[in-house]
Amino acid sequence: GQQVMQIPQYQHVQEGEDFTTYCNSSTTLSNIQWYKQRPGGHPVFLIQLVKSGEVKKQKRLTFQFGEAKKNSSLHITATQTTDVGTYFCAGKSGGSYIPTFGRGTSLIVHP
Amino acid sequence: DVKVTQSSRYLVKRTGEKVFLECVQDMDHENMFWYRQDPGLGLRLIYFSYDVKMKEKGDIPEGYSVSREKKERFSLILESASTNQTSMYLCASSLLGWGTDTQYFGPGTRLTVL
Protein backbone atom coordinates (compact mmCIF):
# COMPACT_ATOMS: atom_id res chain seq x y z
CA GLY A 1 0.00 0.00 0.00
CA GLN A 2 0.88 3.63 -0.20
CA GLN A 3 3.42 4.84 2.32
CA VAL A 4 4.35 8.39 3.20
CA MET A 5 7.60 8.83 5.09
CA GLN A 6 8.23 12.09 6.91
CA ILE A 7 11.56 13.19 8.33
CA PRO A 8 12.89 14.20 10.72
CA GLN A 9 10.68 13.03 13.58
CA TYR A 10 11.90 15.86 15.83
CA GLN A 11 13.80 19.05 15.20
CA HIS A 12 15.18 21.43 17.79
CA VAL A 13 16.16 24.89 16.56
CA GLN A 14 17.15 28.20 18.08
CA GLU A 15 14.70 30.98 17.43
CA GLY A 16 15.69 32.64 14.17
CA GLU A 17 17.08 29.49 12.55
CA ASP A 18 15.45 27.88 9.54
CA PHE A 19 13.56 24.58 9.59
CA THR A 20 12.65 22.04 6.93
CA THR A 21 10.56 18.88 7.02
CA TYR A 22 10.40 16.40 4.16
CA CYS A 23 7.78 13.95 2.94
CA ASN A 24 8.49 11.09 0.57
CA SER A 25 5.90 8.81 -0.94
CA SER A 26 6.34 5.31 -2.31
CA THR A 27 3.83 6.11 -5.05
CA THR A 28 3.03 9.10 -7.23
CA LEU A 29 0.63 11.43 -5.48
CA SER A 30 -2.28 13.28 -7.03
CA ASN A 31 -1.95 15.94 -4.36
CA ILE A 32 -0.48 16.58 -0.94
CA GLN A 33 -1.76 18.59 2.01
CA TRP A 34 0.12 20.03 4.97
CA TYR A 35 -1.28 20.46 8.47
CA LYS A 36 0.01 22.02 11.70
CA GLN A 37 -0.91 20.77 15.13
CA ARG A 38 -0.05 22.92 18.12
CA PRO A 39 0.69 21.14 21.42
CA GLY A 40 -2.64 20.06 22.91
CA GLY A 41 -4.49 21.13 19.78
CA HIS A 42 -5.89 19.54 16.67
CA PRO A 43 -4.50 19.54 13.12
CA VAL A 44 -5.17 22.70 11.17
CA PHE A 45 -4.99 22.77 7.40
CA LEU A 46 -2.15 24.86 5.98
CA ILE A 47 -2.07 24.25 2.24
CA GLN A 48 -2.66 21.85 -0.64
CA LEU A 49 -0.27 21.26 -3.54
CA VAL A 50 -1.47 19.69 -6.76
CA LYS A 51 0.87 20.48 -9.64
CA SER A 52 4.25 18.95 -10.38
CA GLY A 53 7.02 21.29 -9.22
CA GLU A 54 4.55 23.60 -7.49
CA VAL A 55 5.89 26.10 -4.96
CA LYS A 56 3.62 28.07 -2.66
CA LYS A 57 4.48 30.58 0.03
CA GLN A 58 2.67 31.72 3.14
CA LYS A 59 4.69 34.47 4.81
CA ARG A 60 7.74 32.63 6.22
CA LEU A 61 6.53 29.17 5.09
CA THR A 62 7.48 27.74 1.70
CA PHE A 63 5.88 24.55 0.41
CA GLN A 64 7.21 22.54 -2.52
CA PHE A 65 5.85 19.60 -4.48
CA GLY A 66 8.46 17.58 -6.34
CA GLU A 67 8.61 17.26 -10.10
CA ALA A 68 7.79 13.57 -9.89
CA LYS A 69 4.99 14.25 -7.38
CA LYS A 70 6.53 11.79 -4.95
CA ASN A 71 8.01 14.21 -2.45
CA SER A 72 7.23 17.47 -0.77
CA SER A 73 8.83 19.81 1.70
CA LEU A 74 7.88 22.56 4.11
CA HIS A 75 10.51 25.19 4.89
CA ILE A 76 10.16 27.81 7.60
CA THR A 77 12.49 30.81 7.46
CA ALA A 78 13.63 32.44 10.70
CA THR A 79 11.56 30.34 13.09
CA GLN A 80 9.61 31.94 15.91
CA THR A 81 8.29 30.41 19.12
CA THR A 82 4.81 30.54 17.59
CA ASP A 83 5.95 27.98 15.01
CA VAL A 84 6.18 25.28 17.69
CA GLY A 85 4.06 22.23 16.89
CA THR A 86 3.90 19.10 14.80
CA TYR A 87 3.74 19.42 11.04
CA PHE A 88 2.04 16.66 9.08
CA CYS A 89 1.93 15.96 5.39
CA ALA A 90 -0.90 13.89 3.94
CA GLY A 91 -0.88 12.52 0.42
CA LYS A 92 -3.36 10.81 -1.80
CA SER A 93 -2.57 8.74 -4.84
CA GLY A 94 -4.87 8.91 -7.84
CA GLY A 95 -6.31 5.45 -7.36
CA SER A 96 -7.17 5.83 -3.71
CA TYR A 97 -9.88 7.66 -1.87
CA ILE A 98 -7.99 7.31 1.36
CA PRO A 99 -5.24 9.76 2.31
CA THR A 100 -2.06 8.63 4.02
CA PHE A 101 -0.56 10.85 6.69
CA GLY A 102 3.13 11.08 7.43
CA ARG A 103 4.05 10.54 11.07
CA GLY A 104 4.77 14.21 11.53
CA THR A 105 7.75 16.35 12.43
CA SER A 106 7.70 17.98 15.85
CA LEU A 107 9.37 21.39 15.82
CA ILE A 108 10.77 22.71 19.09
CA VAL A 109 11.95 26.32 19.03
CA HIS A 110 14.28 27.49 21.79
CA PRO A 111 14.12 31.22 22.57
CA ASP B 1 -16.23 29.43 10.39
CA VAL B 2 -16.59 25.69 10.19
CA LYS B 3 -17.13 24.11 13.54
CA VAL B 4 -16.53 20.45 14.27
CA THR B 5 -17.38 19.41 17.80
CA GLN B 6 -16.79 16.17 19.64
CA SER B 7 -18.87 15.00 22.56
CA SER B 8 -16.06 14.66 25.09
CA ARG B 9 -12.49 15.92 25.44
CA TYR B 10 -11.56 13.17 27.88
CA LEU B 11 -13.15 9.78 28.44
CA VAL B 12 -12.22 6.89 30.73
CA LYS B 13 -13.81 3.50 30.14
CA ARG B 14 -13.26 -0.06 31.30
CA THR B 15 -12.26 -3.03 29.17
CA GLY B 16 -15.30 -4.60 27.55
CA GLU B 17 -17.51 -1.52 27.73
CA LYS B 18 -19.32 -0.23 24.66
CA VAL B 19 -18.09 3.26 23.85
CA PHE B 20 -19.71 5.92 21.69
CA LEU B 21 -17.79 8.90 20.37
CA GLU B 22 -19.91 11.57 18.76
CA CYS B 23 -18.92 14.16 16.19
CA VAL B 24 -21.05 16.99 14.85
CA GLN B 25 -20.27 19.50 12.10
CA ASP B 26 -22.30 22.58 11.35
CA MET B 27 -21.36 23.32 7.73
CA ASP B 28 -23.43 20.79 5.80
CA HIS B 29 -20.31 18.87 4.78
CA GLU B 30 -20.74 15.69 2.77
CA ASN B 31 -17.66 13.90 4.07
CA MET B 32 -16.74 12.98 7.61
CA PHE B 33 -13.77 11.05 8.94
CA TRP B 34 -12.58 9.34 12.10
CA TYR B 35 -8.86 9.13 12.85
CA ARG B 36 -6.85 7.93 15.77
CA GLN B 37 -3.60 9.59 16.69
CA ASP B 38 -0.84 7.83 18.60
CA PRO B 39 2.63 9.15 19.44
CA GLY B 40 5.09 8.41 16.67
CA LEU B 41 2.41 6.96 14.40
CA GLY B 42 0.72 10.09 13.16
CA LEU B 43 -2.92 10.03 12.12
CA ARG B 44 -4.48 6.80 10.94
CA LEU B 45 -7.87 6.69 9.26
CA ILE B 46 -10.41 4.39 10.90
CA TYR B 47 -13.56 5.01 8.85
CA PHE B 48 -15.01 7.69 6.67
CA SER B 49 -18.44 8.53 5.31
CA TYR B 50 -19.28 10.36 2.11
CA ASP B 51 -23.04 10.52 2.63
CA VAL B 52 -25.76 9.68 5.12
CA LYS B 53 -25.80 5.96 5.88
CA MET B 54 -22.70 5.44 3.71
CA LYS B 55 -19.39 4.36 5.17
CA GLU B 56 -16.05 3.09 4.02
CA LYS B 57 -13.25 1.41 5.93
CA GLY B 58 -9.99 3.20 6.42
CA ASP B 59 -6.64 1.71 7.28
CA ILE B 60 -7.49 0.38 10.75
CA PRO B 61 -11.23 -0.43 11.04
CA GLU B 62 -10.84 -3.54 13.19
CA GLY B 63 -12.58 -3.21 16.55
CA TYR B 64 -14.59 -0.17 15.43
CA SER B 65 -17.87 0.58 13.72
CA VAL B 66 -19.52 3.83 12.67
CA SER B 67 -22.95 5.29 12.19
CA ARG B 68 -24.13 8.22 10.12
CA GLU B 69 -27.88 8.63 10.40
CA LYS B 70 -27.85 12.39 9.86
CA LYS B 71 -25.60 14.45 7.65
CA GLU B 72 -24.16 16.51 10.47
CA ARG B 73 -23.40 13.65 12.85
CA PHE B 74 -20.86 10.84 12.60
CA SER B 75 -20.46 8.38 15.46
CA LEU B 76 -17.60 6.05 16.22
CA ILE B 77 -18.46 2.94 18.21
CA LEU B 78 -16.15 0.65 20.10
CA GLU B 79 -18.27 -2.46 20.60
CA SER B 80 -16.04 -3.87 23.33
CA ALA B 81 -13.28 -1.49 24.35
CA SER B 82 -9.80 -2.86 24.82
CA THR B 83 -6.68 -1.30 26.32
CA ASN B 84 -5.01 -1.05 22.91
CA GLN B 85 -7.77 1.36 21.89
CA THR B 86 -6.48 3.94 24.35
CA SER B 87 -5.71 6.85 22.06
CA MET B 88 -6.63 10.31 20.85
CA TYR B 89 -9.59 10.19 18.47
CA LEU B 90 -10.02 12.97 15.95
CA CYS B 91 -13.06 13.63 13.83
CA ALA B 92 -12.85 15.68 10.63
CA SER B 93 -15.18 16.87 7.91
CA SER B 94 -14.85 18.26 4.41
CA LEU B 95 -17.28 19.58 1.85
CA LEU B 96 -15.77 17.69 -1.07
CA GLY B 97 -13.89 14.45 -1.22
CA TRP B 98 -10.53 14.17 0.47
CA GLY B 99 -7.72 15.74 -1.46
CA THR B 100 -9.96 18.20 -3.21
CA ASP B 101 -10.89 20.22 -0.18
CA THR B 102 -9.76 21.26 3.27
CA GLN B 103 -10.38 18.90 6.15
CA TYR B 104 -11.57 20.55 9.34
CA PHE B 105 -10.72 18.72 12.52
CA GLY B 106 -12.54 18.62 15.83
CA PRO B 107 -10.72 19.14 19.15
CA GLY B 108 -10.27 15.43 19.74
CA THR B 109 -11.35 12.95 22.41
CA ARG B 110 -8.64 11.39 24.54
CA LEU B 111 -9.92 7.93 25.42
CA THR B 112 -8.35 5.84 28.14
CA VAL B 113 -9.41 2.20 28.47
CA LEU B 114 -8.53 0.63 31.79
The pLDDT value recorded for residue A94 is 73
- Interface list for chain B against chain A, based on CB atoms closer than 8 Å: 40-45, 48, 56, 58-59, 90, 92, 97-100, 102-108
Q: Which residues from chain A sit within 8 angstroms of residue B40, using beta carbons? A: 9, 103
**CB-based contact A36:A86 (threshold 8 Å):** yes
Average pLDDT over all residues of chain B: 92
pLDDT tens profile B42-98: 899 999 999 999 999 998 999 999 999 999 999 999 999 999 999 999 999 988 765
CA distance B106 to chain A (A): 7
pLDDT tens profile A86-102: 999 999 887 776 778 89
pLDDT band for position B40 (50/70/90)?
confident
The pLDDT value recorded for residue A1 is 63
> Which residue in the set A48, A92, A102 is minimally distant from B42, CB to CB?
A102
Mean pLDDT by 10 residues, chain A (111 residues): 88 97 94 94 93 97 97 98 96 77 95 92
Task: Report CA A22 to chain centroid distance, whole Å.
Answer: 6
Which of these, A22, A23, A10, lies nearest to A84 by C-alpha position? A10
Q: Which residues from chain A sit within 8 angstroms of residue B36, using beta carbons? A: none
Contacts of B84 (CB under 8 A, 6+ apart): none
Collapsing DSSP states into helix, strand and coil, what is residue B12? Answer: strand
Query: Does the beta-carbon distance from A104 to B42 stay under 8 Å?
Result: yes
The pLDDT value recorded for residue B103 is 85
Query: Does the beta-carbon distance from B103 to A97 stay under 8 Å?
Result: no
Q: Which residues from chain B sit within 8 angstroms of residue A102, using beta carbons? A: 42
Q: Which residues from chain A sit within 8 angstroms of residue B108, using beta carbons? A: 42
